[in-house]
Amino acid sequence: MTIANMEAAISLRGMKLQHERFALGPVDCSIPKGMVTAIVGPNGSGKSTLFRALLGLEPVRAGEIEMLGTLLDGNQGDQYKSRIGFLAENPHAHESHLTANEKAKFASNWYPSWEWERYNKLLRHFDVDGGIKLSKMSKGMRRKAELSIAMAHDPDLLLLDEPSSGLDPFAWKTMLEELGRYMEPGDRTLVLATHILEEIKRLADYILFIYRGKVLGLYEKDRLLDDWRTIVVQIDYAAKGGSEMLQRAPGFQGLSEAGAGLYRLEVDDPERGEAYCRDNGFRVVAVQRMELEDILSCLIRKEEARR
């Protein structure tokens, strides 16, 4: 099934917002229901701003946002949020005087599906004492407590902004286990902003690349990692127009010099791309799978060239 015919948990249609020095959008994309989507982009690209817009916390200038079937048109109220769990990138200072359990008590009033048993189980698994003030917790401890609170009402949609920030490797593993368990029923949707490539590889079904407030694309992760390749080719110094010819390769994404007549050709149609190189007399020195960070760099270079 392609993204286009999957049921959407979140739909953004021409959505735009504007701060004094930063514009987000127009964003057109549908985040599929029942899947894990990782939002990936450099610092300041707009990931947290996008999360806030999804929660109705940012004034939208144009376009539409639909969350779990509710159109955020200003009249939607807060009802739709009871089916969402959110973990903000930074803890809220005004909650620091509360213990985790006090914050949980407050949150439980908001969510009809809140379950103390689930909350306590999460705290136990994360090895957190809920009786401690949030301000007295270490960064990682507080993250684990806040994540337990975000998940305790078993939301249909979980939005996590850099959830592993501050977690030690053991806590990180616990988090992956809990998120895996959360997704098990098959109808939940998880959207997380993250810089941790291993987390993306392990968790994500889809990747939404974002850069300077623009969506560069929403891709199925496995296809992306299978399809995108770097083909290292040798160009005879005497040959004229070699690099121009490489730019016409099927699935062309990028081209850079690698010294001594070598070029790194990036393509998302590897078989046809490689055949094209050989058919046109280029010597193929190596074909390598691309890592996510290289794919993101390539998409960013293309966007920069377009600007």
Ligand X SMILES: Nc1ncnc2c1ncn2[C@@H]1O[C@H](COP(=O)(O)OP(=O)(O)OP(=O)(O)O)[C@@H](O)[C@H]1O
231 Cβ contact partners less than 8 Å away, ≥ 6 residues apart: 249, 264, 265, 266, 267, 270, 273, 274, 277, 284, 286, 287
44 vs 69 by CB, closer to ligand X: 44
Residues 228-247 that bind ligand X (CB under 6 A): none
Among 41, 56, 140, 254, interactor with ligand X by CB under 6 A: 41
258 Cβ contact partners less than 8 Å away, ≥ 6 residues apart: 232, 264
Among 22, 106, 110, 170, interactor with ligand X by CB under 6 A: 22
Amino acid identity for residue 112 in this structure:
P
Q: Among the candidate windows 10-18, 45-53, 62-70, 262-270, which touches ligand X by CB under 6 A?
A: 45-53
Among 19, 92, 97, 136, interactor with ligand X by CB under 6 A: 19
Does residue number 59 form part of the binding site for ligand X (CB under 6 A)?
no
CB of 146 to ligand X, least distance (A): 16
184, burial (CB in 10 Å: exposed 0-12, middle 13-18, buried 19+): exposed
Does residue number 47 form part of the binding site for ligand X (CB under 6 A)?
yes
> Residues in contact with ligand X, total (CB under 6 A)?
12
Q: Among the candidate windows 37-45, 107-115, 124-132, 184-192, which touches ligand X by CB under 6 A?
A: 37-45
Q: Give the burial string for 117-139 (b: 16+ CB within 10 Å, else e).
A: eebeebbebbebebebebeebee
Strand 206-211, strand 36-40: pairing: parallel
What is the C-alpha R_g of the chain? Answer: 22
Structure tokens at 37: 């989507």
φ, ψ dihedrals at 106, nearest 5°? -65, -45
Q: Among the candidate windows 41-49, 59-67, 121-129, 132-140, which touches ligand X by CB under 6 A?
A: 41-49
Structural contact between residues 65 and 234, judged by C-beta atoms closer than 8 angstroms = no
Among 2, 5, 20, 184, interactor with ligand X by CB under 6 A: 20
Q: Among the candidate windows 40-48, 175-183, 217-225, 287-295, which touches ligand X by CB under 6 A?
A: 40-48
Among 7, 28, 44, 223, interactor with ligand X by CB under 6 A: 44
Residues of this chain that bind ligand X (CB under 6 A): 19-20, 22, 41, 43-49, 89
